Amino acid sequence: MNSTPSSADSTPVRAPSIAGRLAWAVLVFAILVLALGAAVIRFAPRVFPTLPVATSPAPAAEPIQPMPQPLTVEAPVISPEITGSIAEIARLNARVETLEARQNRATRSASAALAAAALLDAAQTSRPFSRELAAVTALLPANTDLGTFQALAATGAPSRASLALDFPEYAARAAVAARDPGQGAGVWPRLIAGLSRVVMIRPVGHTTGRTPDALLARAETELSEGDVDLALQTLSGLPPAAGQALDPWRKRAQDRADIDRHTARLRAEALKDLADLNGETK
């Protein structure tokens, strides 16, 4: 009797898939790689001896560079022709400066001489002459002392002609004072002195000797010649009483003598400067 096969026997057997096969292959390859790595680690030192490790030599120390020397620039070589031209230019410049200084000095000296001449003319009158003195002062050295002269210039002084004209009146007073016998004199000397106050007889032309009349006469002559300073020196020999009678006139005459002295000095200095400059130019 034929038996009917069961359902279990009739089920077909499936073959492994491609994915399963690939997974097994990867697993086997990983095992081989691990085994090969372990073999290399174990047996490599024996198969391949250890090679010396190459070491790079230490870098040599750089030599110390010396400090840079200061930069020196050689002076250009100047030819003798150029040197001679420079020296000639320097001489010409010095010559020009000398000529300019001399011209300035000549101009200043001429201006000072003209200002001194104008001052001398103005000082001969009786009026003040401060403006003329200021013009001269501007051309004088800064250390020139003109304090007294400036005070005289602000007021002026009588002219020589005016002083000579006023002198006879004061000389008469001085002659009377010179004849005064004093309080202890007798009657006759006092009578003569009283008459002399009314009628004055003074020998004008008698100029020799040291008597009061002679001194007054000589001073009057010197005044007529325009020499106030010399007349004052002559009158200094009068007796004290006669000198006191001349005091008002003497003060005015002294101012005139001081003005004449100062102006003459300034004029002489200005002319001397011009003369010195003229001598240098020759």
Residue 50, pLDDT score:
54
pLDDT per residue over 52-67, tens digit each? Answer: 545 555 555 566 666 6
Residue 184, pLDDT score:
55
Other CB atoms within 10 A of residue 264 CB? 14
Residue 95, pLDDT score:
77
CA distance 138 to 16: 140
Tell whether the model's pLDDT for residue 146 goes beyond 70: yes
Report yes or no: 194 and 210 within 8 Å, Cβ to Cβ.
no
Taking each helix axis as running N to C, give the angle between helix 187-198 and helix 160-179, from 0 to 180 degrees, rounded to the nearest 10: 160
Of 152 and 282, the one with more pLDDT: 152
Range picked from 44-53, 149-158, 190-199 for highest mean pLDDT = 149-158
User: How much is the pTM?
Assistant: 0.55
C-alpha count within 13 angstroms, C-beta hemisphere, residue 269: 16
- The pair of structure tokens assigned to 181 is 């016998």
Closest CA to 205 of 220, 190, 193: 220
Please, where are the H alpha helices in 199-246? Answer: 212-224, 228-235, 240-245
Residues 6+ apart with CB under 8 A from 244: 177
CA distance 266 to 115: 10
pLDDT per residue over 69-126, tens digit each? Answer: 666 656 566 666 666 677 778 788 877 777 777 777 777 777 777 888 888 888 888 9
DSSP percent split of the chain into helix, strand, coil, nearest 5: 65, 0, 35
Residues 6+ apart with CB under 8 A from 260: 123, 228, 229
Mean pLDDT of 127-153: 82
Task: Calculate the average pLDDT of the chain.
Answer: 75
User: DSSP label at 10?
Assistant: T
Write down the domain spans for the chain.
81-155, 160-258
Helix H or strand E segment including 110: helix 80-123
Lowest mean pLDDT among 156-160, 210-214, 238-242, 276-280: 276-280
Tell whether the model's pLDDT for residue 198 goes beyond 50: no
Residue 147, pLDDT score:
76
pLDDT per residue over 220-242, tens digit each? Answer: 999 999 999 999 999 999 999 89
- Residue 228: burial class (beta carbons within 10 Å; 0-12, 13-18, 19+): buried
Of 64 and 218, the one with more pLDDT: 218
- The pair of structure tokens assigned to 93 is 């410049």
CA distance 246 to 11: 187
